[in-house]
Amino acid sequence: MSARRVAPVLAVDDLRVAIGPTPVVRGVSFAVEPGQTLGIVGESGSGKTMTVLAATGLLDLPGAVVHGSSVLGAPLVGEAGGASTGATAGAGSGGTAGAGAGDGTTQLVGASARTLRRVHGDRIGFVFQDPSTSLNPILTLGRQISESLEAHRGLSGRKARDRAFDLLEAVGIPEPASRLDAYPHQLSGGQRQRVMIAVALACDPALLVADEPTTALDVTTQAQIVELVRELQHRLGTAVVWISHDLGLIGQVADEVTVLRGGEQVERRPVLDLVDRPEHPYTRELLAARPLLGQHRPAPAPASAEPLLTVEGLDVRFAVASPAGRTHVHALDDVSFVLRRGHTLGVVGESGSGKSTIANVLTGLVRPQGGRADLAGVDVLQQRGKALKALRRRIAMVFQDPFSSLNTRSTVGTSVSEPLVVHGLAGGRGGARARVAELLRLVDLPAAWADRYPHELSGGQRQRVSIARALALEPELVILDESTASLDVSIQARVLELLARLQAELGLTYLFIAHDLAVVERVSHDVLVLQRGRVVEHRPAADLFADPREDYTRALLAAIPPVRPRAAADRPA
Amino acid sequence: MTLARVARFLGRRVLHSLVVLLGVLVVVFALVHLVPGDPVRIALGTRYTEEAYTALRAASGLDRPLAAQFFSYLGGAVTGDLGVSFRTGQPVAVTLLERLPATVSLAVVGLLVALLVALPAGIWSGLHEGRLSDAIVRVTSQAGVSVPDFWLGQLLILGVAVGLGLLPTSGYAALTEDPAHWARHVVLPGLTVGLVAAAIMTRYIRTAVLDVAHAGYVRTARSKGLPAAVVTRRHIVRNALIPILTITGIQLATILGGVVVVEVVFAWPGLGRLTYDAVASRDYALVQGAVLLVAALFLLVNLVVDVLYSLADPRIRLS
C-alpha cells in the first residue's frame, strides 16, 4: 500500500437511497484507488448490495430514488463533481445526463441510461453471488464473454473469440478452447464463478464490483477465487469493491473496510485498524461474533454415555445420466460412526460430500443400498408402520433455511404444535397451547408469539421456532443440517449458544452437519470429515483440530480465512 | 457427438409416445366394451331382427373372444384400418382423413392468430410490469379468458358477416381445392379460436417473461452494458421461449383435439363435430378412431415441442 494519494477509481460521497418514503441507505461515503480493494461488510438488510448497485447505476428497483454523488475515474480526491443529484432508478429512467466534466470523470448518480451502458461492462465489471443463476443457461460461455467485447470494443468473430479464450485461460479454466462452446451447466460452481470473473474483466475495467462472490462456494473454492482475484488485480491494477457478510474473508481481501448497519455507515477504516482497534460497538460485536477456529470449545460431554446412534457401513448410490450413459454416484460409501448420548457429532465436508445424505437416510427420505443404523437398539432402516411412527418421535430435524421450512400461512403455535397433533399427543386445545408456550420459552421466545406468523419474525427468530418444533416430541436425537448457515454471524452465535444450553438442560444428542469448520469446532465433541461419500477422518474434535491427520482435512482447515487479516502479514506490526 | 445425443433423445421420445399411444388404444378399445348398451343393437335400432343382429355382430367380429378382438383391432390400427362406421358403413379411417384437413387448417390459422396477438402483448406486458400498458393487457386478457367461444363466434358472425357483409357466415371448402373460398371461410372461425387461445397464452407469456426478467443472468447482461434491445432479445425473450413453447404446444393440441362449439357455430366439418355426432349416435367405431387420432395428434405436437425444447435449451440437449 502506498502512502501517496492517487486518484480514486470510484469516489462515493454521501450516497442515499430511498424506496418511496423509506430510506434504505443513509449517507455512505467511500473511495477506492487503482489496485486497492475496498471491503463492504454488513449483515443481511444492512444495505451493502443496495449501496454498491446505487453507486454504480445498476440499481433496478421501481420507486428507488438515489441521492448523493458517485464519481467514476475522478482525477483527484475531493475535486470531482460532488453536486448532489436526485434521480429515479429503474429501467429506462433517463435521468439527467452524466456529468462528464471533460476530465474523464463520470457522475454515475442520475446518469442517463446511455452513459451507464457505456460504463457498465467497460469501465466497471460485476461479479454476483450465485454463479448458478448469474450466467445465462442457454448461451455458450464464449458468447457470454464476447458480447461485452462486441458492445464496447467492437470486436466480433475471430478476434472476440481469441480474447474470450485468453480470458478463460487467465481465470484458470482448463481446456479453454473446448470450454468456449460449453454451457454453464457443464461447469462446477467454482468454474462458473471463474467464468463470471472472465466476463467481468473482458474489457479491462478500472473497477471490479464483487458482490458476495464466494458465498455460494465451498471454502476451498472460495480460497481459490480469492487468490485468483488478487492475482488478476495485481496484474491489471484493477480497483475492487468486495461486498461480504464475512469479516474473516474481508480481512483476506480488503485494504480498507466500510461497515454498514441498517443502511448507515458505522465505520470506515484500513482493515488492520478496524480489526485491531474497532471504534464502534457494532464493529466490536461483529468481530466478537465471527466464528473463529480455536476460540470456542463445547462443554464437555457426559463421560460414560452409552451409544445412542450406531451407523455401520452405510452405502447410498444415486443413478445419474452422463455422456457415457447412466452411471452411479456414490453418495455414501461405507460410512460408519457411533454417536453417544448427550454428545454432538459434527459432520463436515464440501458440497457433494454426502453430509446431507446421512440426514436423509436417518429420516427415511433416502433408502440406502446397504448398511445399518441402530438407535438405542432399534433398527432405524427396517421399521414400518406404527414402529416407524414411534421411531420418528425420537429423531427430529432442523433445516437450513428458516424462510422456507416454516409454513407461511400457519401461526408459530400451529407449526410448533403440529408434531404433537400428528402423533396424537396434543392433549386437547389447552394442553397443546400450554406445551407450545413451554417450548417457546425453552428457545427464549415469548409465549405470546404463538399467534404470530413467520413473516413477522426475523431469520434467527424463525430458526428458534424451527428448533422449538423439533423439540416438541422430546426427541433423543436432533439432526441439525446447516441449521445456522443462513443466519447472520451475530444471530448464529446466539443460536449456537441456545443449542448448547438445550443440550445441557435436556441431555440432547446432536448430529451437526455443517460446512463451516469453525462453527463445527464450537459445538462438536467428535468430528466426521466426509469427502465424496467416504469418511476421511473421524476423531474427537479437540484432536482433529489440533492435529489433522489427513491431507483433505488439512486442506479444509487451511482454506479458512485466518483470524488475522492478510494485511497483518504484509505489514510488520 | 451432439448429433448422436439428439438422435438418442428423439428415439427415446418417439418410443415413449408409442407406449402412450398403445395405452390410449387399450382404453379406447375397452370403451366399447365397458359402456352400457350393446353397440350392435343400437346400430340396428328399429331395423332390429334376430338374424340382422347375429349377422352384424359376426360381421363386426364382436362374437369373437375379447383378446382376439383386441389384437385384430391393434393389428388393424397399425395398418391404418380402424374398422367400419356402424352408421354409414364407411371405413373409419377414410372418414377421419376427410375431416382432418378442416381441423388442422383451422387449428393452424387459430394458432397463428393466437401467437400474433399473444406474443407481442405478453412480452410487452411482462417487460413493462406495473405500467399502464401492462394493466391494459392484463385486464383485456382476463376478459378474453372469460368470453365463451360460441358467443364470440356469434358476435363475429353478426358483426362482420351479417352486419358488414364482408365474409360468409359459415361453410367450408378444402384448402387444396379452392384456396380463396377456404380463406374467406376460415377467417371468422380462425379468429374465434385464435382470440380465445390468445387470451390464455398472453397471460402465460407475460408470466414467463416476468420470471426471466428478474433472473440473475439478466442483471448480469445489464451489468455488461449491453443495449436494452439486446438484453431483451438475447437474454429475456430467448429464455422465456422455453415456457412459451410449452403453452403453445398445449394450446395447439387443445385446438386440434376439438373446438366442437366453434365448428358447430361455423358449420366447419372438422374432427370435433364428427366426434360429437359419433358420440350422439353411438357410432363407437368412429368414436374409437377419432379419439385415437386426436391422441396421436396430441402426441405428435408434444414430440415436436420436445424437439424444439432440445434446440432451445442446451441443458436438455446435452444432459
Q: What is the pLDDT of residues B70-92, one digit of tens each?
A: 888 888 888 888 888 877 888 98
The answer to whether A389 contacts chain B (CB < 8 Å) is no
Helix (H, G, I), strand (E, B) or coil at B167: coil
Nearest to B217 among A120, A134, A186 (CB): A134
What grid cell was written down for A351? 458440497
Contact A120 B224 (CB under 8 A): yes
Please report residues of B whose CB lies closer than 8 A to that of A130: 216
Q: Is B287 within 8 Å of B176 (Cβ atoms)?
A: no
> B41 or A464: which carries more pLDDT confidence?
A464
Q: CATH homologous superfamily of domain A124-254?
A: P-loop containing nucleotide triphosphate hydrolases (3.40.50.300)
The x, y and z cell numbers of residue B200, run together, are 390464455
Residues 296-335 of A with CB under 8 A from B: 321, 323
B180: Cα within 13 Å, side-chain hemisphere? 0
- Which pLDDT value is given to residue B217? 94
A334: phi then psi, degrees, rounded to nearest 5: 55, 55
The span from the CA of A446 to the CA of A438, in Å, is 10
Residues 6+ positions from A79 with CB-CB distance below 8 Å: none
Contact A222, A140 (CB under 8 A): no
Q: Does B133 touch chain A (CB under 8 A)?
A: no
Interchain contact, A128 vs B221, CB within 8 Å: no
The whole-angstrom separation of Cα A111 and Cα A89 is: 10
Other Cβ atoms closer than 10 A to A338: 15
CB within 8 Å: A151 and B217: no
Q: What is the mean pLDDT of residues B105-118?
A: 94
How many Å apart are CA A150 and CA B204, to the nearest integer? Answer: 33
Grid cell digits, residue A467: 428448533
Cβ <8 Å between A128 and B220: yes
Q: What angle do CA A464, A469, A473 make, to 5 degrees?
A: 135
User: Is residue A513 within 8 Å of A479, Cβ to Cβ?
Assistant: yes
Q: B-contacting residues of A 517-536, CB under 8 Å?
A: none
Close Cβ partners of A433 (under 8 Å, ≥ 6 residues apart): A413, A417, A450
- Cell numbers standing for residue B14: 418417439
CATH topology of domain A307-559: Rossmann fold (3.40.50)
Chain B contact for A103, CB < 8 A?
no
For the segment B192-226, what is each residue's pLDDT rounded down to a tens digit?
Answer: 999 999 999 999 999 999 999 989 999 999 999 99
CB A127 within 8 A of CB A241: no
Query: How far is residue A227 CA from its own chain's centroid?
Result: 18
Q: Is B230 on the interface with A (CB under 8 A)?
A: yes
pLDDT band at B150 (very low <50, low <70, confident <90, very high): confident
Residue ranges per domain, chain A?
1-32+44-120+255-261, 124-254, 307-559
Interface contact B226-A92, CB threshold 8 A? no
Mean pLDDT (chain B, rounded): 86
Residue A95: exposure state from Cβ atoms within 10 A (0-12, 13-18, ≥19): buried
* Mutation target vs A (from B6, B224, B315; most A CBs, 10 A cutoff): B224
Residue B270 has pLDDT above 80, yes or no: yes
Report CA B155 to chain centroid distance, whole Å. Answer: 24
User: May I ask the CATH architecture of the domain B101-272?
Assistant: Orthogonal Bundle (1.10)
Flag whether residue A501 sits within 8 Å of chain B, measured between CB atoms.
Answer: no
Between strands A534-540 and A526-531, the pairing is antiparallel
Across-strand partners of A366? none
Q: Are strands A264-270 and A106-107 parallel, antiparallel or unpaired?
A: unpaired
pLDDT of residue B317: 72
Q: Indicate the burial class of A154 (C-beta count within 10 angstroms; 0-12, 13-18, 19 or more).
A: exposed
What's the CA dihedral at B64, B66, B71, B74 to 10 degrees? Answer: 110
- Asked if the C-beta of B48 comes within 8 angstroms of chain A's C-beta atoms, the answer is no
Residues of chain A neighbouring B227 (CB-CB closer than 8 A)? 117, 151
Distance from CA of B316 to the nearest CA of A (A): 10
For residue A368, give the C-alpha cell.
440406502
* pLDDT at position A322: 57
A134–B313 CB contact, under 8 Å: no
Is residue A179 less than 8 Å (CB to CB) from chain B? no
Contact B214, B130 (CB under 8 A): no
φ/ψ (deg, to 5) at A31: -145, 150
The pLDDT value given to residue A396: 92
CB contact under 8 A, B223 and A125: yes
DSSP state of A123: T
Count CB pairs under 8 A between chains A and B.
92
What pLDDT does residue A334 have?
93
Helix (H, G, I), strand (E, B) or coil at A345: strand
Q: Is A393 on the interface with B (CB under 8 A)?
A: no
A191 — contact with chain B (CB < 8 Å)?
A: no
CB under 8 Å to A429, separation ≥6 — which residues?
none
Listed residue (B318, B297, B289, B309) closest to B76, CA to CA: B289
- Put simply, the answer to whether A147 touches B228 (Cβ < 8 Å) is no
Cβ–Cβ gap A151/B228 under 8 Å: no
Helix then strand count (H, E) for chain A reads: 20, 21
Residue A465: the pLDDT is 93
Question: What is the least distance, in Å, from the CA of A250 to any CA of chain B?
Answer: 23
DSSP A184: G
User: Which residues in chain A touch residue B313, judged by CB atoms under 8 angstroms apart?
Assistant: 137-138
Whether chain B has a CB inside 8 Å of the CB on A59: the answer is no
CA dihedral B267, B269, B273, B279 (to 10 degrees): 130
Rounded to two decimals, the ipTM of the complex is 0.79
pLDDT tens by residue, chain A, 573 residues: 444 567 899 999 999 999 888 899 999 999 999 999 999 999 888 889 999 999 999 988 878 899 999 999 844 333 333 344 444 443 333 333 444 455 678 899 988 999 999 999 999 999 998 888 999 999 999 999 999 999 998 888 888 899 999 999 888 888 888 889 999 988 888 889 999 999 999 998 999 999 999 887 888 888 888 998 998 899 989 999 999 988 888 998 999 999 999 899 999 999 999 989 999 999 998 888 887 787 778 888 787 778 999 999 999 988 776 555 567 788 899 999 999 999 999 999 888 888 889 999 999 888 999 999 999 888 988 888 888 888 888 999 998 888 788 888 999 999 999 998 888 877 777 788 889 999 999 898 999 899 999 888 888 889 999 999 999 998 999 999 988 888 888 888 889 999 999 999 999 999 999 988 889 999 999 999 999 899 999 999 999 999 999 999 999 888 888 878 887 776 554
User: Which residue has better confidence, B306 or A195?
Assistant: A195
Whether residue A113 lies within 8 A of chain B, CB to CB, comes out as yes
Looking at the complex, report in whole angstroms how far the Cα of residue B128 sits from the nearest Cα belonging to chain A.
Answer: 9
**B223, B242, B308: best mutation site toward chain A, by most A Cβ within 10 Å?**
B223
Angle between helices A189-201 and A219-236 (to 10 degrees): 20
How far away is chain B from the Cα of A385, in angstroms, using its nearest Cα?
35
Which element (helix H / strand E) includes B107? helix B92-127
Q: What gap in Å lies between CA B280 and CA A403, rounded to an integer? A: 55
Residue B161: which of B61, B87, B302, B266 has the closest Cα?
B266
A323/chain B closest Cα distance in angstroms: 7
The rounded distance, in Å, linking the Cα atoms of A233 and A244 is 18
Is A138–B313 a contact, with Cβ atoms under 8 angstroms apart?
yes
The confidence score (pLDDT) of residue A189 equals 83
Question: CA B162, CA B160: separation in Å to the nearest integer?
Answer: 6
A453 touching chain B per CB within 8 A: no
